[in-house]
Amino acid sequence: MPRKTSTSSAKEFFPEKNSLKAFRQAAAGCKACDLWKLGTQTVFGDGARRADVLFVGEQPGNEEDLTGTPFVGPAGRLLNEALEEAGIDRSQTYVTNVVKHFKWEPRGKRRIHKKPNAGEISACLPWLEAEIAMVKPKVIVALGATAAQALLGPTFRVTKQRGQFIESTFAPYIMATIHPSAILRAPDDETRRLEHRRFVDDLKKLARVLK
Ligand code: SF4
């Protein structure tokens, strides 16, 4: 029986069968860190079984937590729009998160996103590693600092190195850019438009590499 400690590893919950379906089912019962107590359900990755590009965000948000599907909330809709603008077919991609449960704190009646800590990221990372190994993407796109640093190390800075194609052991290339939720949080319309444009430009670079 897997242990149920607060500082365990998702590996203890791995299934015997090496398929996304088996891993998705096994992840539904993961208790490798305490976040299973906070989220409604595990939000495993979703998308094409073999995809040239795999997008990784930080963690599911409020809508993802309720539906059990990644990138279906406001940030996911923005990602879909940006992919369309860049000419990338969303149905041919795979989307997931570094951490599979929603970490939040109450603010009034709302559940506000709370950043996962290093122990939670490390406990959950084996699920992402398994997804990458099965989906076999040519490029992993890290959306935001948490995903970029989980894959490229703690010294990686999205602000300085966004849009670069970096060789990696996880996939031929990893490219980091901002998380679409950062665009939604822009302080004014002009900044939001500028950040949206830069995000689409990063995705257009990706589209050229995928050709
Ligand atoms: S966040 Fe990840 S490691 Fe923690 S319980 Fe959920 S699936 Fe398991």
DSSP collapsed to 3 states, 113-168: ECCCCHHHHHHHHHHHHHHHHHHCCCEEEEECHHHHHHHHCCCCCHHHHCCCEEEC
Residue 59 near residue 99, CB atoms below 8 Å: yes
Give the pLDDT of residue 102.
98
Give the position of tokens 């939720």: 181
Helix (H) or strand (E) holding 64: helix 62-67
| Cα–Cα distance for residue pair 103/113, rounded to 1 Å | 6
| Cα–Cα distance for residue pair 72/116, rounded to 1 Å | 20
Helix axes 20-27, 118-135, angle to 10 degrees: 160
Overall pTM > 0.75: yes
Amino acid at 75: A
Residue with CA at minimum distance from ligand 1 atom 3? 124
What does the pLDDT average to over 19-41? 97
| pLDDT tens string 157-181 | 999 999 999 999 999 999 999 999 9
From the centroid of its chain, how far is CA 121?
12
Among 13, 24, 99, the mutation site with the greatest number of ligand 1 atoms within 8 A of its Cβ is: 99
| Cα–Cα distance for residue pair 150/140, rounded to 1 Å | 12
SS3 62: helix
Residue 2 in this model has a pLDDT that exceeds 90? no
- The strand pair at 139-143 and 173-177 is best described as parallel
Paired tokens of 114: 């709370």
| pLDDT tens string 55-106 | 999 999 999 999 999 999 999 999 999 999 999 999 999 999 999 999 999 9
101 lines ligand 1 (CB under 6 A): yes
SS3 183: helix
Amino acid at 29: G
Beta strands in the chain (DSSP E): 46-47, 53-57, 93-97, 104-107, 110-113, 139-143, 165-167, 173-177
CA 59 to ligand 1: nearest atom: 1
130 lines ligand 1 (CB under 6 A): no
Residue 125 near residue 100, CB atoms below 8 Å: no
